[in-house]
Structure 1
Amino acid sequence: MNTADLGLPVDVPSTALFTDHYELTMLQAALRAGTAERRSVFEVFTRRLPNGRRYGVVAGTGRVLDAVENFRFDPDLLGFLRDRAVVDEATCDWLAGYRFGGDIWGYPEGEVYFPGSPVLRVEGSFAECVLLETVILSILNHDSAIAAAASRMSSAAGGRPLIEMGARRTHELAAVAAARAAYVGGFTSTSDLAAGFRYQIPTVGTSAHAFTLLHDRERDAFRAQVESMGRGTTLLVDTYDVAEAVRTAVEVAGPELGAVRIDSGDLLLVAHRVRQQLDELGARNTRIIVTSDLDEYAIASLAAAPVDAYGVGTQLVTGSGHPTCSMVYKLVARADGAGPDAPLTPVAKKSSGGKTSLGGRKWAARRTDADGAAEAEVVGTGPVPDELAGRQLLVELVKGGRVVGREPLDAVRDRHIAARAGLPLSATQLSRGEPVIPTEYVHGASGS
């Protein structure tokens, strides 16, 4: 696999060091104790949604699959571990042959989730599973947070296109992942060319204020852009006086002008004035694009405005106030012995303080009402009730170390739109509230 596909610099050949120090020291101790090969089940879930959010969005699964596939310890990485004395020589020898050979099940990417949903289940030996904790969480927590914000913005936009424009507001590699997650959540394009290259997301963009300021007159800047890009281009009209710029833009490009962009001011008021002016000038098909630090609330406030598309940056790539989903990766079952047929025993943290968890390998299903709308997220151990057997949510992603769950990004995006549509209407409300459906737990014998 090309490391560029993972959003990595070309000189980083592996995802193996995208992990915490203690993952390797746990491995070393388990190898010495003879427990490293015990069959284990880890699950990723969150105990609660971010404050006020009514649903979560699973995003980053495709990147997780790439990261697992590319989790290798080459000689340079092993040399680093030896030089820093992170682990002993016996552990380095074990890591030299590391390949994940277990199974991974999870909610399909784009699906919605709720507190307690087992969004990912990783099964294999303790040794091979524990090493993946940090990289899996770093991807899912980041991408799912961005996708949840994007989903809320997409819902608020009411079908109007959304452009992801946050590359300059975050880390350069995070920007690529954010553009992908935003596309999953309902955005239609990105300004980030690396995201377009890696994930085939449509890219857009024309000019910034600097281009207008470069020229002696605004008219000269508009003329240069139209001559270069054609009359269907988008002209930025708020560098100086908006009304004058709109008039000049139509004079230069004619009524065939593709769009104007407004990046400042009272967007609701300015959009109405610009629409009226464009219509009076005969540019009735010229679209209006607004940017300027938008979030889902600002987008919703513009629902009645004659706006054709929105560009969103800072608020999107920071999760609109919630940059993580607080997902955790917990051991929920382990074998009583080292043999492959040893029965699984449920295990769980039992300490107080709100961090308890439910032991046992989980299944999950979504119960619907008579109208087909979701009414509960059901999470259980043991046999799946017959009435829920056809509504199970987890799908196979990795089998025996081989990735089997890759799919096109457009399919993921379509799934999210369908999953969101299957929730009660209150899911799209922007006001603070509890999860739109409850999580119910069914306890049974968790078996192997």
Structure 2
Amino acid sequence: MSERALGPAAAGTSTALLTDHYELTMLQAALQSGTAQRRSVFELFPRRLPEGRRYGVVAGVGRALDAFERFRFDDEVLAVLDEGRVVDAQTLAWLADYEFTGDIWGYPEGEVYLPYSPLVVVEASFAEAVLLETLLLSIYNHDSAIASAASRMTWAAEGRPCIEMGSRRTHEEAAVAAARAAYVAGFASTSNLAARQRHGIPTAGTSAHSFTLLHDTERDAFVAQVTSLGRDTTLLVDTYDIAEAVRVAVEVAGPELGAVRLDSGDLGVLAHQVRAQLDSLGATKTRITVTSDLDEYAIAALAAAPVDGYGVGTQLVTGSGHPTCGFVYKLVSREGADGEMVPVAKKAKDKGSVGGRKYALRRRNSRGRAEAEVVGIGEAPVDDGDDRTLLVPLVRDGEVVGREPLSASRERHLASRAELPLQARQLSRGEPVIPTIHLD
């Protein structure tokens, strides 16, 4: 699966203004003090998982790399900064020549993460690296929240396909990003056509209740849809009387009817009733798809019902109660007056961080089961032969080197999730499924 286009606007649009004002005022002050060119290491990481979650999923890496490549201060961007007197003339001149020349390492897309996982490590001058903070955080926080919710949903679905259909429940551009993140975490398709255009994600959809209500009778609506879309289409059967609709649907399309969709009521009970009716009418291969504000808990509750697929909207695009991951972007090491790198960290009981450049691996036992997230400070942890190194190069000397197809991210997520202990599947509240261990 290939990604064919770029972010929220035309391919050439700069992303430099998708940031916070204080990134540029910090730059101006650092330029004036002579500290802007100090070598620095910034890290993007979570201090904790959202309450009740046992693991998270990294998403947005590909989108972040696209946005990084378009992060430049062209004439239009500089004019905005100049007219608003955001920074002084010296800083504007520096920004006009801005070019990131450093390195970026990160967890690859689809990987599982835990508290204090160093998801992104940015090594460059302070001036080059600090400007990326808001852009990276906004992409990673949103997309990883969606992917983390989607992973729980696809795991609860136990192999039954999930369709992302939340476009009408969020911002129009967030909808495209959400479809992409859900696909990384195992969703089979999306209803969003922009996601198909930009990212090559399969799309699906047939009709809404308005189509049935448009026609004089439900039969007329079914005939029109089957005539146009074929017998393998999905007919929505809960506009009026479900049992009567199922009977008419099979009469119109025959036993070759592809699927029926239920969008209201007690979905578990109705699925059993509709399955029995379809079978009695000879439509034994007709599938049942359910929708209606589903989340991972509702999907899990339907595990014993004869449901063949799920359409998920509102709960998915809002992160199923956790629309952000709480990632932060902190300076953890910088060049001292003597030219040596010095670990630095904010000291606070509730917002503390760990100084020093990090390295990470997933500690696994001989059976390939994850046991811990091991984070080395200043040097890489030793692989005992069963472990996996987690950080991969994303940008080297200012050039993107970590782009990959979405299919690789999907495969990675399934493999990474499968390594976790069985407790990771539990939807009840609990601690992270494996501990994070820091090695000095």
Query: How many angstroms apart in 2 are the aligned matches of 1:11 and 1:198?
Result: 11
Measured against aligned partners, the alpha-carbon deviations of 1:328-349 in whole angstroms (never above 9, x if no partner) come to 00000011249xxx32111111
Measured against aligned partners, the alpha-carbon deviations of 1:43-62 in whole angstroms (never above 9, x if no partner) come to 01111000000001000011
The percent of aligned pairs where both chains have the same amino acid is 70
Partner in structure 2 of residue 394 of structure 1: 391
Pairwise CA distance, 1:366: 1.2
Partner in structure 2 of residue 359 of structure 1: 355
Helix, strand or coil at the partner of 2:383: helix
Query: How many angstroms apart in 1 are the aligned matches of 2:209 and 2:224?
Result: 14
Matched, 1:403 2:400: yes
Measured against aligned partners, the alpha-carbon deviations of 1:121-140 in whole angstroms (never above 9, x if no partner) come to 01111001000000100000
Equivalent position amino acid for 1:403 in 2: V
Helix, strand or coil at the partner of 1:155: helix
Equivalent position amino acid for 1:332 in 2: V
Mapping of 1:220-239 within 5 angstroms?
Answer: 220-239=220-239
Mapping of 1:105-120 within 5 angstroms?
Answer: 105-120=105-120
Measured against aligned partners, the alpha-carbon deviations of 1:183-224 in whole angstroms (never above 9, x if no partner) come to 011101000000011110100000000000000011011000
Closer/same/farther in 2, CA of residues 47 and 185 from structure 1, 3 Å limit: same
Helix, strand or coil at the partner of 1:386: coil
Closer/same/farther in 2, CA of residues 196 and 11 from structure 1, 3 Å limit: closer
Equivalent position amino acid for 1:225 in 2: Q
Question: Does the Cα contact within 8 Å between 1:38 and 1:337 map onto a contact in 2?
Answer: no
Pairwise CA distance, 1:173: 0.2
Partner in structure 2 of residue 202 of structure 1: 202
Partner in structure 2 of residue 375 of structure 1: 371
Closer/same/farther in 2, CA of residues 11 and 107 from structure 1, 3 Å limit: closer
Query: How many angstroms apart in 1 are the aligned matches of 2:157 and 2:360?
Result: 31
Matched, 1:163 2:163: yes
Query: How many angstroms apart in 2 are the aligned matches of 1:78 and 1:89?
Result: 10
Question: Does the Cα contact within 8 Å between 2:359 and 2:381 map onto a contact in 1?
Answer: no
Partner in structure 1 of residue 409 of structure 2: 412
Matched, 1:426 2:423: yes
Helix, strand or coil at the partner of 1:289: strand
Query: How many angstroms apart in 1 are the aligned matches of 2:7 and 2:35?
Result: 35
Question: Does the Cα contact within 8 Å between 2:4 and 2:197 map onto a contact in 1?
Answer: no
Question: Does the Cα contact within 8 Å between 1:68 and 1:100 map onto a contact in 2?
Answer: no
Mapping of 1:97-112 within 5 angstroms?
Answer: 97-112=97-112
Question: Which consecutive unaligned segments of at least 5 residues does structure 1 have?
Answer: 444-448
Partner in structure 1 of residue 181 of structure 2: 181
Query: How many angstroms apart in 2 are the aligned matches of 1:437 and 1:310?
Result: 30
**In the alignment, which of 434, 438, 446 is matched to residue 435 of structure 2?**
438
Equivalent position amino acid for 2:82 in 1: R
Mapping of 1:310-329 within 5 angstroms?
Answer: 310-329=310-329
Query: How many angstroms apart in 2 are the aligned matches of 1:356 and 1:409?
Result: 34
Question: Does the Cα contact within 8 Å between 2:7 and 2:63 map onto a contact in 1?
Answer: no
Mapping of 1:32-71 within 5 angstroms?
Answer: 32-71=32-71
Pairwise CA distance, 1:12: 7.5
Let me know the Cα RMSD of the aligned residues: 1.4
Equivalent position amino acid for 1:435 in 2: P
Mapping of 1:110-149 within 5 angstroms?
Answer: 110-149=110-149
Equivalent position amino acid for 1:433 in 2: G
Closer/same/farther in 2, CA of residues 383 and 10 from structure 1, 3 Å limit: closer
Matched, 1:190 2:190: yes
Query: How many angstroms apart in 2 are the aligned matches of 1:287 and 1:421?
Result: 28
Partner in structure 1 of residue 265 of structure 2: 265
Mapping of 1:237-248 within 5 angstroms?
Answer: 237-248=237-248
Equivalent position amino acid for 2:400 in 1: V
TM-score by length of structure 1 reads: 0.95
Question: Does the Cα contact within 8 Å between 1:7 and 1:176 map onto a contact in 2?
Answer: no
Helix, strand or coil at the partner of 2:13: coil
Question: Does the Cα contact within 8 Å between 2:361 and 2:381 map onto a contact in 1?
Answer: no
Pairwise CA distance, 1:4: 9.0
Partner in structure 2 of residue 446 of structure 1: none
Query: How many angstroms apart in 2 are the aligned matches of 1:428 and 1:148?
Result: 12
Mapping of 1:13-28 within 5 angstroms?
Answer: 13-28=13-28
Helix, strand or coil at the partner of 1:282: coil
Equivalent position amino acid for 2:332 in 1: V
| Greater than 4 Å deviation, 4+ residue runs | none
Question: Does the Cα contact within 8 Å between 2:44 and 2:328 map onto a contact in 1?
Answer: yes
Provide the aligned length of Structure 1 versus Structure 2.
437
